[in-house]
A and B are shown apart, each in its own frame.
Chain A
């Protein structure tokens, strides 16, 4: 099967890390469902134009995290992800994004009040739009 992973060649992030992060979020977000057979290491490496060494490392790391399991002779499958893990992942993703937003604010000497006001404004704006779309 084809896995939508996009490699950013201009990123300072190492290749294996880019692949691992994206594959992890595809699994935890449920975009790739439990029981899905992933491509073989060689096939995936060919698709991503990286080496089998990199893909093997990604599969091993995610297997250690309990997200994947390998059955001898059959291949590597997506494991069962508990709802707890999904919830943790959701929170973690949002937390990271907010942290970097706050850091951006700090770097331009934005005051706490100003930042909170902007945050509330953006939340109202975005969630309001979503409610409108949902209602129509």
Chain B
């Protein structure tokens, strides 16, 4: 891992009915990190802290390995773009062009021709007021305006909510191309598994105000399997359970067939075989299933990428 774009050290945010923290996190520069977790997990709070829209009660945040007393320097703040979960009402009475003129004043790196190119590509209605647009149209404007800043750090809070599948595809391709052409860092909070698959290099999982961990996306690949085996009956099932203490959700599917979940199936294949149990079928769990197990406390054993050599 090279330079860090963002680092959180023991960051806490304490509110009356909810506490978020401790958060320790290092986001490497030049990568896309997906922030996943259920509603209320603390994803938006984390993004807001990276912009100083919310200040932590305890702990330290570092930007590009620097810490700042007080307000972020203007130059750094201008290199960060943000698409919030809800659009800002201040721009509601402006057309995309008027809002662009306002924003370009605050961002010296504003690229007007890139903005216009994106607005055309996304088919944002050019004469409509932002407040009158549909949720998806407004989202497309927000994405175009965030990218037009040519940010070094791009924070996206559920960017695809409201987008139709065509606009979604353009968004994915645009973000990929942007990353190709700029040494940028993206942090994207999302519920869409396909977005994580297509975009993310790293995954950060949050749950109830806790950071459960961060992993390279591909190390989750094949980490959990579901296995169906031939089994005589309840007693044989108990014996199998005793032999495979790591197995989850071991149950009789139909008479004669049991199923269970396990990590690192390649370690247990031989043992299952030696027990004289016949494997009928197996499949690798999907990313969303792996993340949901992780949320429930079953942290994946991260795969050594060297395995198989």
A6 at the interface (CB under 8 A from B): no
Whether A14 contacts B221 by the Cβ 8 Å rule is yes
Whether B307 contacts A14 by the Cβ 8 Å rule is yes
Whether B284 contacts A46 by the Cβ 8 Å rule is no
A43 partner residues in chain B, CB cutoff 8 A: 176-177, 180
Q: State the interface size on chain B (CB cutoff 8 A).
A: 30
B170 CB to closest chain A CB, in angstroms?
13
A42 at the interface (CB under 8 A from B): yes
Whether A46 contacts B218 by the Cβ 8 Å rule is no
Whether A54 contacts B218 by the Cβ 8 Å rule is yes
Q: C-beta contact mask, B175-205 vs A, less than 8 Å → 1, else 0?
A: 0110110000000000000000111111000
User: Of the candidates A40, A42, A53, which one forms a contact with B218 in the assembled complex, judged by CB atoms under 8 Å apart?
Assistant: A53
CA gap between A12 and B305 in the complex, in Å: 11
Q: Given A42-B179, A42-B180, do A52 and B222 touch, yes or no (CB 8 Å)?
A: no
By secondary structure, the B interface counts as mixed
Whether B179 contacts A14 by the Cβ 8 Å rule is no
B217 at the interface (CB under 8 A from A): yes
A89 partner residues in chain B, CB cutoff 8 A: none
CA gap between A29 and B270 in the complex, in Å: 35
B176 partner residues in chain A, CB cutoff 8 A: 42-43, 46
Q: C-beta contact mask, B265-307 vs A, less than 8 Å → 1, else 0?
A: 1100000000000000011100000000000000000010111
CA gap between A9 and B220 in the complex, in Å: 11
B33 CB to closest chain A CB, in angstroms?
10
A residues engaging B (CB < 8 A)? 9-17, 40-43, 45-46, 49-54
